[in-house]
Amino acid sequence: MEKPEEASRTAGRKKRTYHSPRRMEQAAVTKSRIVDAAMKLVREKGYADMTLEAIAAEAGVAPQTVYAVCGSKKGVLAAILENTVEAKRYDTIRDSIPKLKGRDRVREIGHFYSVLMENALPVFDIMRGMSMLSPEFAEQEYDQGMMLLDKCRKSVHIMAQDGMLRPGLSEERAAQLYWAITTPGMHRRLTKLLGWSAEEYAAWISYLVGVILLDLDTPLPFLGEDGEPEK
């Protein structure tokens, strides 16, 4: 029979948690492989024909691993979106924005959203299409929108701390306007339906953010210094 002091030590060992940076890194790599595989299958086969087993085979992991990481096909879409929006390739632009002031900041905001939307639009389109077919995915599209709104709140809070917001404009209303300005739908309409270039879209976003949120005296994009359209 185990002695009381030994039982105490055993219980202590059971409660102890072990955090390994190596394991965390391996888990992140595994999740990235699963997300990449899922995105490839969605593009090639469509969401309806994508299975967790097929994702596992494409990613080179066990099906149980996909279940553990994503839980369901709905969880797979959420992981794809999260991975797309938070991708490290945006870090340099994202990190530079708070260091800038005035027109330089709004110019970089426009650049950031142009790059982000161009890369993330296929994911947004998938979720938009699925939301029309199922209430479950309509709920997920709503969650996606709220996630982006929360990111706008954080950005606006930094602007407010730096004293950049238009006088009399609350942070919450500014965040809502920022969110509306940077919606994927606007990007889709301007670049995919009307054929605007990435540079034109970026300039338009910068103009709207500068005029509506920050009250900057910013010239309308696509106009020269004399007010005439640029050639």
Structural domain spans, the chain: 4-80, 87-213
Q: Above pLDDT 70, what percent of the chain? A: 79
Query: How confident is the model over 175-231, as pLDDT tens digits?
Result: 999 999 998 889 999 998 999 999 999 999 999 999 999 988 877 787 554 444 454
- The CA distance from 109 to 5, in Å, is 61
Whether residue 70 contacts residue 52, with contact meaning beta carbons closer than 8 Å, is answered with: yes
pTM over the 0.75 mark: no
pLDDT for 74: 77
- The H or E element spanning position 10 is helix 4-15
Question: Residue 83 has which token pair?
Answer: 């991975």
Whether residue 112 contacts residue 209, with contact meaning beta carbons closer than 8 Å, is answered with: no
* 4-80 fold: Tetracycline Repressor; domain 2 (1.10.357)
Burial of 94 (0-12, 13-18, 19+ CB in 10 A): middle
| Assigned CATH class of 87-213 | mainly alpha
- Which residues sit opposite 229 in a β-bridge? 223
Q: What values do phi and psi take at 71, rounded to 5?
A: 85, -40
Domains 4-80 and 87-213 agree in fold? yes
- The CA distance from 74 to 140, in Å, is 8
